[in-house]
Structures are given as C-alpha cells and as structure tokens.
Amino acid sequence: LLTLNHHYVTQYRNTEDLQWQFSRQLEMLYGGDEASFDIGENTPQGKIDEVALVLGYRQLHAGSALKEADVERLHSAIQRAGSQVRNAIFNLAYEVRRGNWATDKHLMERTIPVFEALVRADPKWHAAHGQLGYALKDKMFPDWQGAKTCLDRAVELRGERSDEGLYYQFNRALCAIHLDPGYPQTPADAPTRNSILNILKQARRELEDDWEHLVQDPESDDIRIWLQLNGSPRLR
C-alpha cells in the first residue's frame, strides 16, 4: 500500500500497475518545469515524496536518463522521502534491473543512481546494497571492485537470513574471481585462493540443490574456469 496526497490513487497492485499510474499522472502534474523539483528545508513531506517519485520514474522509464542536476535532485529527494516511497522506488528499479541486465545494459545502468540514492538514504538496507552490487557487476564495463564492496556489505547486513539475497554469495564469488590478479592465466596465490574458495563454499551451502544447475549455466563460466585453474578443489 502506498499513500501519498490527493493527487494520487492510494494503492498499487504491482510494479506494472505503479508504472502505469505514474506515466498517466506524474507528467500531468510536473511536465518539464525543473523548478518544481527543487526542495528546501521547509518543503512539505508530501512534496518531497512526489519529487522523489517523479524523478525516480523519469530516471528509469523516460526516453533518456536524468541530467546531472536532476540526479542530484533525485538523491536529495530520496534521502528525505518516506519509507513507503523509497520502497516503491526500489521496486521500480528492481524490476528494471532484473528485466534488462542481460539484454539492455544501457537501460539497466540507469538503475545505478537510484540504488546509490537508496543506499545513502538507508545505509543498513541490505537489499539496496545488493541490487547496487548486481547493477555494477552487470554494467557494459563491469565495476568488479565496486560490485564486490556492495555485495560484501549486503551479506554483512543480511546476517544469517540467507533466504534473503540468495545469490549474494554467488555474485560475490564472480567479482572476487575477476579481481584475482592471476585470473585467467595463472592459479591464485594462497590468500586469494583461500578467500575465493571461502565465498564459493558459502554460495554452495546457501544455494543447496540449485548450485549444481547454476554452476553449469554459461553465466558461471568464470567459476568453472577458476576452479579448474586452481586444481578443482572440493567445495564441501
């Protein structure tokens, strides 16, 4: 349930419904008036929430990404938006990332400023860190270190709730492999090998029966190659 002010319907069924509502209503309210996106110390909460929603929607679904100045406005608005609004924006960005990471990386990369803003707004929200990590990993030119840092933090914040963020460890392992200085030419040095093996063991333990299927996927080529290069160690 998402409740804003009288301009908006009070709920949405799913993210597709939310997108449709935004596309019909938000542009009618704001059009192209950039001044309407400015917020200050005395801006009402309802206005802040509206600005966060409008700019978040435009970043993810408009014909082109936001200009740099509007990205700053987006970050400022999300920082001060209510939790329900942040959740709605997260859901929109999640769907764009999940639906486009393999087929339209330019569109997928538009989620990165949104997830960055959500992380800044709530530094202890593991899901925002995790989604930012996935997006940085799956860029046209991957940011392996940035992605691993985000996923490391997501795992730390998630704790023992391994059913949340089930693929964190798997993707941490892919990042760590690409950060291995010797890969793919030579075996890892002992500290690097032990670190990556530890992540892979955690991934296998959390994925359980899904591990064997997932590790045979073409997306797992780097894991298979790294394991072979490093003596095919057992992951039990």
Q: What angle do CA 130, 133, 134 make, to 5 degrees?
A: 90
Residues 6+ apart with CB under 8 A from 207: 166, 167, 169, 170, 214
- Joined together, the tokens standing for residue 184 give 């793919």
For residues 211 and 1, what is the distance between their CA atoms, to the nearest angstrom?
A: 35
For residues 115 and 10, what is the distance between their CA atoms, to the nearest angstrom?
A: 24
Locus of tokens 């090998």 = 193
Angle, helix 144-158 to helix 126-137, in steps of 10 degrees:
160
pLDDT for position 9: 40
For residues 16 and 120, what is the distance between their CA atoms, to the nearest angstrom?
A: 26
CB-neighbour burial class of residue 137 (10 A; exposed 0-12, middle 13-18, buried 19+): buried
For residues 207 and 167, what is the distance between their CA atoms, to the nearest angstrom?
A: 8
Element (H, E) at 195: helix 190-207
The whole model's pTM is what? Answer: 0.88
For residues 163 and 174, what is the distance between their CA atoms, to the nearest angstrom?
A: 19
Q: How many CB atoms lie within 10 A of CB 209?
A: 7
Q: How far is CA 115 from CA 68, 83, 141, 156, 208, in A?
A: 16, 14, 18, 18, 29
For residues 91 and 102, what is the distance between their CA atoms, to the nearest angstrom?
A: 19
pLDDT for position 191: 98
pLDDT for position 12: 60
pLDDT for position 31: 58
Compute mean pLDDT per 10 residues along the chain, 236 residues long, and list them. Answer: 44 64 59 70 91 92 88 95 96 97 97 98 98 99 99 97 94 99 97 98 95 93 97 88
For residues 66 and 229, what is the distance between their CA atoms, to the nearest angstrom?
A: 44
The identity of residue 191, as a single letter, is P
pLDDT for position 99: 97
